[in-house]
Amino acid sequence: MEKQIRGLSVTVPEILYREMAESLALVPENANAALLIRHSIRYPIPPGDFGNDIPLTPEGILLAEEWGRKLDRHVGRIFSSPVGRCVETGRAVLRGIGQNERTVHTDTALSEAFIRDENAAGPVFMKHGPIRVINRLLRNIPIPGMVPVEQGVRRVMTFMFANLSDTPCLNLHITHDGILAPVLCHLMGRDATDEESWPRMLEGAFFWYEEPELFLSWRGTRWNISRELFQRIRNKQFAEGDQGDEQNDFIRNNQTV
């Protein structure tokens, strides 16, 4: 789908708009929710480059502004990976909702949650690509420079829910595909991902509580997540070798819209 935004032609997958809208519609309006979202459209990352300095394209900036303009929820706090394109995305969303004066706060939980040593992990990503690396992580295969998947998920989830606003609203957490993909797969009990299920740019998942349950919505589907297991992840109470059965308990009453 090609859209004209302020005179510039921007190609946007129609499914992205539809599924994000369907996912947001599943979040109760009185919920204090968190959105974990990948940054907007960036320039290609050259071979052999870590890509930390790659910015958004002009189309990516306009798309984030347009998304903010169309957002029909009050936006609370905005957090971002320290990487420039994520901060750019946050600032563009703020312009879109007409709140340019607000600050985008940064935290490495949104950029390095799964990284123990970037000098060791970086070459692995460049050699094998993110999907192969994340699939190994999901299967609990040790990867140089990376922490176990449940440890990274725990860091992201704890950060998001420790930084909710004081009143019901939508809190934004702008991150990368290499963070969003393993969080979603682990919470959904999946041990693999692929090109089709990999997060698109400016695509995200919504998280909220309906006591005593924790929910997420992703691509128009609501997932009912065991709060007990979330608490155990957060509190690091997994026993060694126990994760398979526990992970199966994470999913309850998957509902497709």
Name the helix (H) or strand (E) containing 34: strand 33-38
Give the whole-angstrom CA distance, residue 7 versus residue 138.
Answer: 43
Is residue 65 within 8 A of residue 92, CB to CB? The reply is yes
Model pTM?
Answer: 0.86
CA distance readout (Å), 216 to 22, 169, 174: 12, 15, 16
Question: Tens place of pLDDT for every residue, the chain, 257 residues?
Answer: 555 545 555 555 566 678 999 999 999 999 999 999 999 999 998 888 888 899 999 999 999 998 999 898 999 999 999 999 999 999 999 999 999 889 999 999 999 999 999 999 999 999 999 999 999 999 999 999 999 999 999 999 999 999 999 999 999 999 999 999 999 999 998 999 999 999 999 999 999 988 778 899 999 999 988 666 666 665 654 433 343 333 333 333 333 32
Q: Please give the order of strands across the beta sheet that includes 221-225.
A: 105-106, 75-80, 170-175, 33-38, 204-210, 213-218, 221-225, 251-256
Is residue 65 within 8 A of residue 149, CB to CB? The reply is no
Residue 100's pLDDT is: 85
Give the whole-angstrom CA distance, residue 106 versus residue 78.
Answer: 9
Instruction: Give the helix ranges, DSSP H, for the chain.
Output: 14-25, 58-70, 84-96, 118-128, 130-138, 149-162, 177-187, 227-234, 243-248
Is residue 115 within 8 A of residue 147, CB to CB? The reply is yes
Is residue 204 within 8 A of residue 176, CB to CB? The reply is no
Residue 47's pLDDT is: 83
* Closest C-alpha among 138, 134, 168, 165 to residue 150: 138
* Closest C-alpha among 150, 147, 144 to residue 125: 144
Give the whole-angstrom CA distance, residue 73 versus residue 33.
Answer: 10
DSSP string, 137-196: HHTT---TTB--HHHHHHHHHHHHHHT--SSSSEEEEEE-HHHHHHHHHHHTT-S---TT
Please state which CATH number belongs to domain 2-256. 3.40.50.1240
